[in-house]
Structure 1
Amino acid sequence: MVGLETEFGISAPGCAMNPMQLSARSVAAYAPFSRAGRWSQAVRWDYEDEDPLADLRGGRLARDLADASLLTDLPGSPAPSAPASASDDSQPGGSADCREPSAPSALAAGASLNQGIGGVGQSLAGGLCDWGVPGVGAGEVVRDLAAEQALPPGASLRTGKQLQRQALTNLVLANGGRFYVDHAHPEYSSPECTTPFAAMVWDRAGELIAAQAVAQLKAEGMQVHAYKNNVDGKGATWGAHENYLVSRALPLDLLNSLLATVLVTRQIVVGAGRVGLGERSEQSGFQISQRADYIHTSVGLQTTYARPLLNMRDEPHADGRDWRRIHVISGDANRFDVPILLKVGITNLALWLLETQPQALEPLLLTGDVVAQCHQVSRDLSLKTKLSAAGGEFSALQIQQKLLDAVKVACVERFGGLEASQIGSAAQVIELWQKVLDGLASDISTVADCVEWVAKYQLCQGLRWRGRIGWDHPRLAALDIQWGDVDGAIIKRLDAGGRIMRLACAAEVADAVAVAPPDTRAYLRGWAVANLEHTVGASWTSILYQPPGWPHIVRLSLKSLRPQPDITQYLHEQLKHQGSLSGQPKSN
């Protein structure tokens, strides 16, 4: 299971709004489209299961010691960016849990009424009158015990007076994803996906969502641009995050070592390219990765200062007894299909190898300073820099090839071959991975249509040659920024000229804006948002629905990763009651 997140850069020349206000305005502009155009009232975020201060290494950071940028569980109050001088001095397990206890999430007899839900960020944000839900107001709550008993297992109830106001900065989407303000940026979180191809398609759908928000603001007279990139070249950076669900049984130290090796070396395959060296482009030049210069530690709980390769937040959004969510914050935002697919595919296959044949990985694990190695790989356009690994000195290209070779051997041993009929979606990943490595080893120009940093480098070199300019020229910095513009001309021209290898057609990406993946719980979330008018909230693990005429909100559990038949049936019945059979959720 995987999901991708993109924070968009946002600018509006001449606009008096600060970045937080502009981001909030951008998200609000998309609200009328967030439910596939069927309902005017947006569906907002349910914060009840948010737990941003739990640490994978053990324990929980005390709330009063946490930087404000870590507090992403506050309804109506987007977490700010951290100051540049901030540092992470907290120790895992050293702080007591200072959260207030949450209400029980399940009902003893299938359904009951939960009263007095407390705790900062633990109730659904948004008063019921603000939701536009009819039939709810102040006064005595009348319980319908028969209706409560008919709820699916794990469902619970909320009352209107327990809900708080939330600004319109956090939207749940018809495709099962999320569009919201995070750290002064509009951020798109894709729905949960089961294949690298699906992750790529639904990630690209986020570009269309951001472009639609921009178009709406332009129609209102604002000159706004949204950028799918990671830096402004002047010191600011924002994230493109990846989330992988892995077994909690995997040793955390070994998991961190493997992922550090993968993340440092895969830059040569999936980097987006950047003009400038250093956080503030103190030196002129070109490097492979947008994010590398902003990575300062290997692991950490923080995401906006002293940035780590791997975020240690222990928020699985699933059964925490079985699963960990690996949160990668060091990757680049990509405009090309192949690097999006490969960053997910390579990481997935490496994690699979760790689960099945960990001994094959041991010689490849980096033993040196992984932060320094991350910076070195990004700045080495020759791809020859040697890195210290358990099995010797290897270049990033050599480690990637050895990792791919180990994956191939394991697939043949376990499944009998490398065909799609034998290994499914992994076949496409392996084929493209090998194609890219072969091109990087022989002639990088042969893979310019599928390696983003190579394509950007070629374009910059052409501009340098024609204009007889150096890497410090502002035209090159402008090209780098314009590359990420979701409505800009550069990517459109490359597409029109056949200079980008597209794996998904435009129609597939457009469909993913309004429809969720059919094989994960995201389908139920997205279906409810699109089809049930009285869906009022949702999260990764819940749907909040108020049946017409009820004084309660039903909270349906989505802890199961697949669409659940009992919840499917319940939502189908609600659609009948709504009086419009516009479709049926699928049951797997």
Structure 2
Amino acid sequence: MQQRIFGLENEYGLIFSPNGKIYLPMEKVLGYIFEGLIPNSWPSNAFLVNGARFYQDTGCHPEYSTPECDNILDLVIHDKAGERLLEACLPAAEERLREEGLSGEIYIFKNNTDSLGNTYGCHENYLMRRDVDFWKVTEQLIPFFVTRQIYSGAGKVLKVSGKPQYFISQRAQHIHEKTSSSTTSSRSIINTRDEPHADAEKYRRLHIIVGDSNMSEYATYLKVGTATLVLSMIEAGFSVAGMELEDPVKAIREISRDPTLNKKVKLDDGRQMTAIEIQRVYVKRATEFLDAQAHDPVLDDVLTKWVSVLDRLEEDPMQLVHEVDWVMKKHLIQSYTEKKDCGWDDPRVFLLDLQFHDVKRTRGLYYLMENRGMAVRVVEEEAVQRAMSVPPQTTRAKVRGDFIRFARAKNRSYTVDWTYLKLNGYWEETILCMDPFSAVNRRVEELLSQVSGARMYR
């Protein structure tokens, strides 16, 4: 089976809660957060020593793009490392505010909507083969992504006609197209932007913008793992025929509005199926695919977890109270309303919804649940802490991260992007790094050796 490169981009919500009546532009708050991650680099975006990219996205959202990963567990680790890096910036950023007489707390949320109804994304990137028909692949993927929310949704309380209603997915209500090149004006299930950051004759990028940001490591693992498995089987010719939805945008919204998972959506051929039934069609084909050829053993684990999750969702979604974000949050809110004898329209319910996504581990409700053993982990915290400063060791990210670490240690100005590196000034040469699977680059090694030698003999 062909290797694959994965990446996740998470846009974070940002709030400054002042002590007193103070107005402070969010750009300034974000600037102090940037100072903690990228000294002397604000306001430009920048790459970090772990190979990841951190920058300001539209709407003053901090965005963290993981380094290139070539296995699913590494991706989960580096996604969590992004949370930890932002969390680690909070004390210094708040101190900088206090130095200016602006005391208060900064909140960073790994979610997808704000109180005004705006949305910001979690984008998934999968390197895929150029020689397969992209449009045939997308047609087969769309029903999968429409229904995947039943185990990857983050959950959201929204008011509908003045009454609170619980939705499975935060992003579903903001999707308007099947496919589109835009990520804002006409958000789609599959984004067609073709930026492979690799050899464009061999690869293209599958850019998915329909998914929610997950606090649960288990949900992230399953979200990316199942997508990888389905993409791999379609690329290998194991097609999924006859599952086209009559109206995918309508279907994704209808599924999101039904936490009982009983809603049937209409297919092109007139049949009606639930999200679980549609997912089982993909499971059956994925099983046949794995049985037919050698593959990464991780995919066996993904398939096992996928089947288990669908079985439990069918029996009773609340069985997944330790694994799936929307179920965890629903259970949390139900328990709270019963304890406080209040309705779902209570303002505290909307606050709970938001606090579930707080990345500060001593404050965020997800992490309070995790600390009590109420959230399943799939990676070790030690690995997450290491990933804050160490890039994946088997992809191009290692070349980039090591280069940045070297340049900073030598106090040298540098320019970096996904596919190139450059030391500014002496030996000013742009070195292309087009192979995302390569953790070594001979020309970069020569350059660093030259610079070190020149320093030695000055």
TM-score by length of 1: 0.71
Q: Is the 8 A contact 2:246 2:268 kept in 1?
A: no
What residue is the counterpart of 1:557 in the other structure? 432
Deviation of the 1:219 alpha carbon: 2.5
Q: Tell me which of 227, 241, 257 is aligned to 2:123.
A: 241
What residue is the counterpart of 2:390 in the other structure? 515
Q: Is the 8 A contact 1:313 1:327 kept in 2?
A: yes
Aligned-partner SS, 2:169: coil
Q: Is the 8 A contact 1:246 1:326 kept in 2?
A: yes
Deviation of the 1:535 alpha carbon: 5.6
Matches within 5 A, 1:30-429: 30-32=37-39, 167-183=42-58, 184-220=60-96, 221=98, 222-277=104-159, 283-359=163-239, 361-363=240-242, 365-389=243-267, 392-415=271-294, 423-429=296-302
**1:28 paired to 2:35:** yes
Q: Deviations 1:336-363 (Å, cap 9, x if unpaired)?
A: 101111111111111111111343x113
Q: Deviations 1:13-66 (Å, cap 9, x if unpaired)?
A: 23533333433332233224xxxxxxxx65xxxxxxxxxxxxxxxxxxxxxxxx
- The amino acid that maps onto 2:229 is L
**347-356 vs 301-310, which moves further:** 301-310
Aligned-partner SS, 1:315: coil
- The amino acid that maps onto 2:27 is M
Structure 1 residues 578, 181: closer, same or farther in 2, change over 3 A? farther
What residue is the counterpart of 1:567 in the other structure? 443
Deviation of the 1:394 alpha carbon: 1.8
CA–CA distance in structure 2, aligned partners of residues 330 and 377 of structure 1: 14
CA–CA distance in structure 2, aligned partners of residues 252 and 523 of structure 1: 30
Q: Is the 8 A contact 1:265 1:399 kept in 2?
A: yes
**1:8 paired to 2:12:** yes
Q: Is the 8 A contact 1:411 1:423 kept in 2?
A: no
Aligned-partner SS, 1:518: coil
CA–CA distance in structure 1, aligned partners of residues 413 and 443 of structure 2: 14
Q: Is the 8 A contact 2:143 2:245 kept in 1?
A: no
CA–CA distance in structure 2, aligned partners of residues 339 and 356 of structure 1: 26
- The amino acid that maps onto 1:332 is D
CA–CA distance in structure 2, aligned partners of residues 282 and 197 of structure 1: 42
Q: Is the 8 A contact 2:260 2:317 kept in 1?
A: no
What residue is the counterpart of 1:35 in the other structure? none
CA–CA distance in structure 1, aligned partners of residues 275 and 225 of structure 2: 17
CA–CA distance in structure 2, aligned partners of residues 390 and 424 of structure 1: 35
Q: Is the 8 A contact 1:483 1:491 kept in 2?
A: yes
Structure 1 residues 358, 283: closer, same or farther in 2, change over 3 A? farther
Q: Give aligned pairs, total.
A: 435
CA–CA distance in structure 1, aligned partners of residues 376 and 17 of structure 2: 33
Deviation of the 1:305 alpha carbon: 2.4
Structure 1 residues 27, 362: closer, same or farther in 2, change over 3 A? same
Q: Deviations 1:462-501 (Å, cap 9, x if unpaired)?
A: 1121222222211110001111111124122211211111
Q: Deviations 1:67-111 (Å, cap 9, x if unpaired)?
A: xxxxxxxxxxxxxxxxxxxxxxxxxxxxxxxxxxxxxxxxxxxxx
Greater share of residues in helix = 2
Q: Is the 8 A contact 1:24 1:169 kept in 2?
A: no
- The amino acid that maps onto 1:255 is V
Aligned-partner SS, 1:176: coil
Structure 1 residues 414, 235: closer, same or farther in 2, change over 3 A? same
Structure 1 residues 575, 429: closer, same or farther in 2, change over 3 A? farther
- The amino acid that maps onto 1:448 is V
Gaps of 5+ in 2: 99-103
- The amino acid that maps onto 2:258 is D
CA–CA distance in structure 2, aligned partners of residues 376 and 239 of structure 1: 20
Gaps of 5+ in 1: 33-40, 43-166, 416-421, 581-588
Deviation of the 1:170 alpha carbon: 1.0
Deviation of the 1:299 alpha carbon: 1.7
Structure 1 residues 544, 445: closer, same or farther in 2, change over 3 A? same
CA–CA distance in structure 1, aligned partners of residues 53 and 441 of structure 2: 24
**570-579 vs 216-225, which moves further:** 570-579
Aligned-partner SS, 2:81: helix
Q: Is the 8 A contact 2:36 2:93 kept in 1?
A: yes
Q: Is the 8 A contact 1:366 1:387 kept in 2?
A: no
Q: Is the 8 A contact 2:399 2:441 kept in 1?
A: no
Structure 1 residues 552, 326: closer, same or farther in 2, change over 3 A? same
Q: Is the 8 A contact 1:284 1:471 kept in 2?
A: yes
Identical counterparts, % of pairs? 30
CA–CA distance in structure 2, aligned partners of residues 530 and 464 of structure 1: 50
CA–CA distance in structure 2, aligned partners of residues 277 and 195 of structure 1: 39
Aligned-partner SS, 1:188: strand
CA–CA distance in structure 2, aligned partners of residues 435 and 540 of structure 1: 37
What residue is the counterpart of 1:529 in the other structure? 404
What residue is the counterpart of 2:101 in the other structure? none
Q: Is the 8 A contact 1:24 1:181 kept in 2?
A: no
Matches within 5 A, 1:444-455: 444-455=317-328
Aligned-partner SS, 1:553: coil
**282-291 vs 495-504, which moves further:** 282-291
Q: Is the 8 A contact 1:404 1:430 kept in 2?
A: yes
Q: Is the 8 A contact 2:431 2:444 kept in 1?
A: no
CA–CA distance in structure 1, aligned partners of residues 451 and 84 of structure 2: 29
- The amino acid that maps onto 1:290 is Q
What residue is the counterpart of 2:338 in the other structure? 465
Deviation of the 1:552 alpha carbon: 4.9
Aligned-partner SS, 2:131: coil
Aligned-partner SS, 1:515: coil
Q: Is the 8 A contact 1:296 1:307 kept in 2?
A: yes
- The amino acid that maps onto 2:354 is I
CA–CA distance in structure 2, aligned partners of residues 565 and 305 of structure 1: 39
Mark the structure with the bigger radius of gyration: 1
What residue is the counterpart of 1:101 in the other structure? none
**1:19 paired to 2:23:** no
CA–CA distance in structure 2, aligned partners of residues 341 and 176 of structure 1: 21
Structure 1 residues 579, 556: closer, same or farther in 2, change over 3 A? same
CA–CA distance in structure 1, aligned partners of residues 256 and 369 of structure 2: 24
Aligned-partner SS, 2:319: helix
